[in-house]
Amino acid sequence: MDYKYIEQLLERYWVAETTEKEESILRAFFSQPDVPAHLLQYKGLFSYEQSQAEISLSDDFDEKILKKIGAAEPQIIVVRAKRQSFFRSLRPLYEAAAAIAIVAMVSYSASSYLNKQNSQSPWDYNPASYQDSYQSAQQSYKVVQDGLEMFQKTASADSTKQNNNLNSAHEE
C-alpha cells in the first residue's frame, strides 16, 4: 500500500478537508495490525473513533426506562389562563408615566438649583463696601447690653431650675 497517499489524507484530515469516504479509508488503514512505525502514533485516534461509533443502545432500552420510571400512561395537566383586569393591563403605562414624572422632577430641580446659583451675586470682599448695622456706636452698644442682660436672666433662671431639680432628685 502507498503510504504517501495515507500521509496526504492525514494532512487533509487535520485541516478538515477530507470526505467521509477518505476518512473511512483512514479508519480501515489504522484498524490493520501492521501499521508503519511513523504512523503508529495516529492509530489510537482512529481506533478510538471506531470503538465509539460501535457503541449503541439496545432495542429494549426505551421500554426498560419507561418501566423504571413508571410512566405507562402520560398524565394530562390542564392549565387555565389567568384573567387580567383592565387596570393590570395598563400597568406598563403607569410605570412609564411614573418614570417620566421622576425624570421631569429631577431635571426641573437641577435646572432651578443651577439657575439659583448663577443668579446669586458673589461675595464682595472689598472692605470699603462694608456697612455697619447701626448708625452710631452708642446704638450698637445698647443692643449688645440688652442681649447680655436677657442672657443673664435666662441663664440664672435655668440654673436655679436645674439646681431645684437636682436637689429634689437627691432628696428622694
On whether residue 39 sits in a domain, the answer given is yes
| Rounded distance between C-alpha atoms, residue 167 and residue 138, angstroms | 43
On whether residue 50 sits in a domain, the answer given is yes
Give the per-residue pLDDT at 105: 97
**126-154 confidence digits (pLDDT tens):** 777 667 777 788 888 999 999 999 988 88
Total domains present in the chain: 1
| Rounded distance between C-alpha atoms, residue 43 and residue 127, angstroms | 100
On whether residue 158 sits in a domain, the answer given is no
The C-alpha cell of 51 is what?
470503538
Query: Is the CB of residue 5 less than 8 Å from the CB of residue 21?
Result: no
On whether residue 122 sits in a domain, the answer given is no
Please say if the pLDDT value at position 32 is more than 70.
Answer: yes
* 25 or 57, which is more confident: 25
Query: Is the CB of residue 16 less than 8 Å from the CB of residue 35?
Result: no
Residue 30: give the domain boundaries: 3-54
**52-75 confidence digits (pLDDT tens):** 766 777 778 888 887 777 755 667
On whether residue 42 sits in a domain, the answer given is yes
